[in-house]
Amino acid sequence: MPSSMTTRPRPLSPNVQIYRPQLTSVLSILNRITGILLSACAVVLVVWLVAAAWGPQSYVPVQAAIASWIGRIFLFGATFAYFLHLCGGIRHLVWDTVHGFDLRWIYISGWAVVAASAVLTVAAWVASASMGG
Amino acid sequence: MDPQNMQNMRSPLARAIGLGSAKEGVGVWWAERVSAVALVPLTLWFAASVIAHTGSDYATFIVWLRTPFAAILMSLLLIALFYHTALGLQVVIEDYVHSATRFAAVIAVRLGCCALAGAGVVAILRIALGG
Amino acid sequence: MIIRSSDQVPHTTLLKRFPIPRNFGVTRESRIGRGKIWPAPKAATRIRALEIYRYDPDSGENPRLDTFEVDLDDCGPMVLDALIWIKNKVDSTLTFRRSCREGICGSCAMNIDGTNWLACTRFISDLATPATIYPLANLRIIKDLVPDLTHLFAQYAAIEPWLKSKTAEPERERLQSPDERSKIDGYYECILCFCCTSGCPSHWWNGDRFFGPAVLLQAWRWLTDSRDEAKDERLDNLEDPFRLYRCHTILNCTRTCPKGLNPGKAIAEIKKTMIERRS
């Protein structure tokens, strides 16, 4: 190949820019996103526990932050993320036993995960409200 | 005649084979599943406990966490949670970070999860055993 | 809402593409520009607009999206018929692979309206308006709709897709019961069109090391063939955090297979075998 001739690199065909979002890929990336969000929540959980362990002076501001209106919005989001990741995770565990791979079952279980997560989130918050929170 | 690979004169088969199979990977996959199975009941218990204790004050919360049942389950939750998190985040980093920084990132995540789990368990023990 | 088989085309869609710019994260040579519009002949009554990805390696220009108006009364019912009509009547430089025109050779695999399928088995009447036709996703493009499949076939060669035996060759056939033969059903039918691999996000990000659904489905085809005597080496070669375990069961592969096969299930079987051999 003569060095005077520069070979133009071949273009890469578009992937995520044009590929259709489908229940398969969307639920999968949601499972990953909720997993990452829950990792952040795990950090908050440890902060909360450590604050509680070191007496009411450290606990009260942390608890107040969580109970504030902005804290509650985050907590609601975290609850939804938790139930999505939990139901999605159970769907993954069923797949690991090599069951439910028929395309019909993939779609039924997918919509079931979305519905169950929404129902469980609302149920959790209703239960919490009825406890006097 | 592929311009992308002109600098790299390896054959396509050599590039597909790469450095060969690592001959391991099933252990990590299994550990993530086992920790997931443990986390299903543990997190459900935690969520139910949080809901049941809505609006309770600091003293009630401490009395509850002092009970051996709550203290043990809470510790197990933290261990399983951070183990699962460390494995999951490592997979995410390997997926998206391809430069050498991935090694530093994986080490940071693993050590961070150990530190947080340790801190959490110490906090629980302090509450459960302390005065 | 519930897709029963991969040939179902969804008619209601929330999102046709992820809400990101068309040239998001794309290298300079891959940016797609606006292209020409080729109107239908004046006498045409039934018209369909197709936006087709074009790339001419000799022109020195970037790829572009041309819009062709196809006269439906003058061409057959399938997308491949429309492409051939365009090549014959409108722009003879339109380049694409094709052979059997009946969904068995795998040559005409491309991205039609956002999902990978064979052009010869996709009805024009199932297309959106305007329809978009891109080459298979995430592959280096030689020209127009022709991708470079060299790396994918090299990954296929890397799993050694042939019968491996250690015992002496039998005088006649290698015997296999009907039950044993049924184990390769659903896997031997793969036509290596690479629709699945090209639609796998994990292969997009790690395609240099992850084998992808097509190759892994074939790997399972050989693992589950009772006549093969090299299961141990095959499993050793697959057990790798990248070659096999980049699969996160996204399942775009099963959704898009134009032959109705199930690569996701094949990969799950391989992972299950990995656990079984060490327990």
For the ranges A12-26, A52-66, C96-110, the lowest mean pLDDT is seen at A52-66
| Residue A6 scores a pLDDT above 80 | no
| Residue C212 scores a pLDDT above 90 | yes
**Residue of C200, C196, C214 lying closest to A16 (CA atoms):** C200
| pLDDT confidence of residue A2 | 45
Q: Name the residue ranges covered by the structural domains of chain C.
A: 28-147, 150-276
Contact B123 A52 (CB under 8 A): yes
For the ranges B2-16, B111-125, C33-47, C200-214, the lowest mean pLDDT is seen at B2-16
Does B37 reach chain A within 8 Å, measured CB to CB? yes
H or E segment and range at residue C134:
strand C131-134
Indicate whether A2 belongs to any domain: no
- CB of C113 within 8 A of CB of C53? no
Contact A131 B123 (CB under 8 A): no
| pLDDT confidence of residue C137 | 97
The model's confidence at residue A5, banded by pLDDT at 50, 70 and 90, is very low
Task: Identify which of A10, A12, A101 has the shortest CB distance to residue C254.
Answer: A101
**Residue of A95, C278, C269, C268 lying closest to B24 (CA atoms):** C278
- CB of C97 within 8 A of CB of C120? no
The per-residue pLDDT for range C141-151, each reduced to its tens digit, is 999 999 999 99
Mean pLDDT value of segment C147-167: 97
Please check whether the two domains, C28-147 and C150-276, share a CATH topology. no
Return per-residue pLDDT of chain B as tens, 131 residues. 566 666 678 999 999 999 999 999 999 999 999 999 999 999 999 999 999 998 888 999 999 999 999 999 999 999 999 999 999 999 999 999 999 999 999 999 999 999 999 999 999 999 998 75
Please state, for a pLDDT cut of 90, what percent of chain C lies above it.
Answer: 93
Query: For chain B, which domains are there?
Result: 26-129 (1.20.1300.10)
| pLDDT confidence of residue A93 | 98
Mean pLDDT value of segment C147-163: 97
| Residue A3 scores a pLDDT above 60 | no
Interface list for B 49-88 with A (CB within 8 A): 50-55, 58, 61-62, 65, 74, 78, 81-82, 85, 88
State the CATH number of the domain containing residue A58. 1.20.1300.10
Cα gap C118→C80, rounded to integer Å: 8
The ipTM is 0.94
For C234, the token pair is 């095959």
| pLDDT confidence of residue A63 | 87
Angle C26-B5-B101 from CA coordinates, rounded to 5°:
60
Q: Which CATH architecture has domain C150-276?
A: Orthogonal Bundle (1.10)
**Closest chain B C-alpha to C5 CA, distance in angstroms:** 29
Task: Identify which of B12, B30, B91 has the shortest CB distance to residue C150.
Answer: B12
The model's confidence at residue C10, banded by pLDDT at 50, 70 and 90, is confident
- CB of C220 within 8 A of CB of C266? yes
**Closest chain C C-alpha to B18 CA, distance in angstroms:** 7
Strand pairing class (C115-118; C64-71) = unpaired
Instruction: Decide: pTM greater than 0.90.
Output: yes
The per-residue pLDDT for range A46-77, each reduced to its tens digit, is 999 999 998 888 888 888 898 899 999 999 99
Contact B51 A35 (CB under 8 A): no
| pLDDT confidence of residue B25 | 95
Please state, for a pLDDT cut of 70, what percent of chain C lies above it.
Answer: 100
Cα gap C139→B60, rounded to integer Å: 61
For the ranges A6-15, A16-25, B87-96, the lowest mean pLDDT is seen at A6-15
Mean pLDDT, rounded, of chain C: 96
Contact C151 B13 (CB under 8 A): no
CATH classification (class only), C28-147: alpha beta
**Which residues are C134's β-sheet partners?**
C111
**Which residues are C171's β-sheet partners?**
none
| pLDDT confidence of residue C226 | 96
Instruction: Kindly list the residues from chain A whose CB atom is less than 8 angstroms away from the CB atom of residue B4.
Output: 9-10
Q: How many CB pairs under 8 A join A and C?
A: 147
Parent domain of A83: 23-130
The total number of structural domains in chain A stands at 1
